[in-house]
Copies of this chain bind each other. A is one copy, B any other.
Amino acid sequence: MEDRYPIPDMADVELVDVLRALADPVRLDIVRLLGDGEPHLKSDCVAERPDLHKSTYSHHFKTLREAGVTRMIVEGRSHQIRLRKDELAARFPGLLDSVLAQGPTTLTREFLTDPGAAPDSSD
């Protein structure tokens, strides 16, 4: 059966593509939410920013997966997302740790303070 959610081999993942995937406030927040390396329900990531449209999240999930940052785990109707934390740490030592060490992005901080004020950051 064709894999609906293909991921690149980590050996083929380029630093510039990972940086590009991380260089977005919503995706940074998703990565931070997934920071423990455990599988998380997609809906948990979406719940953090209910002001964003579902299709915007789908785009961000796809961008992260295709860049080699995350993988999708499908079991029946359950869709979970997991950070490829150990693989990334082996391929780009220190990168993910330095990113995870930072707090929520300004966008999310502003949203959490005043949900009505945050701009839609779809791209």
Contacts of A15 in B (CB 8 A): 28, 99, 102, 105
| Among candidates B20, B22, B25, B97, residue contacting A94 with C-beta atoms closer than 8 Å | B97
Chain A contact-residue range equals 20 to 34
Q: Which of A21-54 touch B at CB < 8 Å?
A: 22-25, 28
The minimal Cβ–Cβ distance linking A89 to chain B, given in whole angstroms, is 10
Closest to A20 in B: B23
Instruction: Give me 30 A-to-B residue pairs in the complex whose CB atoms sit less than 8 angstroms apart, sorted by A's number.
Output: A14-B105, A15-B28, A15-B102, A15-B105, A16-B22, A16-B24, A16-B25, A16-B28, A16-B105, A19-B22, A19-B23, A19-B28, A19-B99, A20-B23, A20-B24, A22-B23, A23-B23, A92-B98, A92-B101, A93-B98, A93-B101, A94-B94, A94-B95, A94-B98, A94-B101, A95-B95, A95-B98, A95-B99, A97-B98, A98-B98
Q: Please give the residue numbers on chain A whose beta carbons come within 8 Å of chain B beta carbons, in ascending order.
A: 14-16, 19-20, 22-25, 28, 92-95, 97-99, 101-102, 105-106
